[in-house]
Structure 1
Amino acid sequence: MMESIYDRTVQLGEYVPEPDDDRIICRCEEVTKGEIRRAVHDGMFTITEIRRYLRCGMGLCQGQTCAKLVKRIVATELGVSPALLEPATSRAPIRPLEMKIYAKEGEDDE
């Protein structure tokens, strides 16, 4: 078991493919279980690192469908409890708006 999830000197061993590595975990970004496992073996030990590298949790659902699965996969690969992994920072989805929408906002006040 790892001393700390931030200890990058711990060797996880060689990445060994599993039969279900082609299972899609993040549907929005089409990220597979194998890609997540490979990223952990490549040195990405936090959910934020995995998210930035693979974009899981950054699609339309903003991680609503895959966040717990990703966390469990990462924890399993690291040999730690999922409770030890900090969740990635959540942000509200933002859409660009045309300026005319803002301009119409004040017209109703008159």
Structure 2
Amino acid sequence: MSNKEYDNTIICRCEDITRGELHRWIDQGVTNLEELKRLSRATMGPCQGRTCRQLILQEIAARTGVPISEAIIPSYRQPLRGVTLGAIADMKLDEEEKPHEK
């Protein structure tokens, strides 16, 4: 595998973050997963890091020499709270929010 192919390997599929991008963040001093998450959106897609978090931690550990066991790992957070269609149907809209009628 060439360096370009290696750098173009997708690490976070949801946010389309490559290994090369991740390495640039780490080289700039971003070595905490929480900080990396906030700056790059890594682990913030629909999977909430379930598919990429371990890969990112491995890359940080390999690049910095700090073991994964010493990493500060943010918790999973759901991006949205579920809402039933019934709750939406029961919502009352202000006059200015109502669709305009013809």
Secondary structure of the 1:20 match is helix
- CA shift in 2, pair 1:103/1:18, >3 Å: closer
TM-score by structure 1 length?
Answer: 0.69
- Runs of 4 or more, structure 1, over 6 Å off, are none
RMSD: 2.4
Q: Going by fraction, where is helix more abundant, 1 or 2?
A: 2
Alpha-carbon distance, 1:90 to partner = 2.1
| Alignment coverage as a number of residue pairs | 88
Instruction: Give the gaps of 5 or more residues in structure 2.
Output: 91-102
Instruction: Give the gaps of 5 or more residues in structure 1.
Output: 1-16, 105-110
**1:54-83 per-position Cα deviation (integer Å, ceiling 9, x unaligned):** 111000110010000000001111112111
51, 54, 59: which one pairs with 2:37? 51
If you compute each CA radius of gyration, which structure gives the higher value, 1 or 2?
Answer: 2
Q: 2: distance between equivalents of 1:23 and 1:84?
A: 25
* Structure with higher RCO (Cα < 8 A, 6+ apart): 1
1:78 alignment counterpart: 64
1:3-42 → structure 2 map (5 Å cutoff): 19-42=5-28
Q: 2: distance between equivalents of 1:19 and 1:102?
A: 47
